[in-house]
Amino acid sequence: MLVKIKLPINIEINNFFTNKPYFIRDLADDSLYERLIPLIVKVCNEPRIFNRLFAKKFVKGATYRPINALEFLVYANRGWQKQEKFQFAIFNEDNDIVGTLELRSNDSKACEIGYWASENHRGIMSNAVIAIAKLAKSVGYEKLFLLIAPDNIASQKVAKNAGFLLENPHFENSKGVYQLYEKKL
């Protein structure tokens, strides 16, 4: 079955440490994009995100630029329009984007989830994944999975906190060797 998700999405979560509210929203609304671009650029240039997600793909010395954020938002918009992939952002109370999560397919049987969050907002991602798993179950997904690099301890903690189980510690694909975590919904 192909999953569909009705818009708009707005889910409140709390920071594990501060209890402050944060909001998970869809990234389908392109009227927000102009404001979001510099915010995304700022967070994606934070070392823990840039080094993990972009350093290998970018030429040496390059930084994450507004064009990269725009491409990301266009990708997010297309995913929602086609109902093929579902990209969400986490906003703080000031409406600044501090993280993202993605349901990477519309296949109800199994869907990969991906995410990043600002190091200035530790305490939101595990709770955001718990909330997205609840939403995923309500729209018909049966299973979520995560592919996590063996040295990505922070992401492994998120997986465990959100109730994912380590199904394969040496899962190999064309991009490398990962830990495969799964959560049945």
Ligand X SMILES: CC(C)(COP(=O)(O)OP(=O)(O)OC[C@H]1O[C@@H](n2cnc3c(N)ncnc32)[C@H](O)[C@@H]1OP(=O)(O)O)[C@@H](O)C(=O)NCCC(=O)NCCS
User: By C-beta, is 122 or 134 nearer to ligand X?
Assistant: 122
Q: In what order do the strands lie in the sheet with 21-26?
A: 10-14, 21-26, 86-91, 97-103, 111-117, 143-148, 176-184, 165-173
Question: CB of 56: closest distance to ligand X in angstroms?
Answer: 13
Could you tell me if 139 and 33 are in contact, meaning their C-beta atoms sit under 8 angstroms apart? no
Question: CB of 29: closest distance to ligand X in angstroms?
Answer: 23
User: By C-beta, is 38 or 150 nearer to ligand X?
Assistant: 150
User: By C-beta, is 30 or 41 nearer to ligand X?
Assistant: 41
User: By C-beta, is 31 or 174 nearer to ligand X?
Assistant: 174
- Name the residues that contact ligand X, by CB under 6 A: 16, 48-49, 52-53, 115-117, 122-127, 146, 148, 152, 154-155, 157-158, 161
Question: CB of 90: closest distance to ligand X in angstroms?
Answer: 10
Q: Give the whole-angstrom CA distance, residue 128 versus residue 115.
A: 10
Could you tell me if 183 and 137 are in contact, meaning their C-beta atoms sit under 8 angstroms apart? no
Could you tell me if 94 and 120 are in contact, meaning their C-beta atoms sit under 8 angstroms apart? no
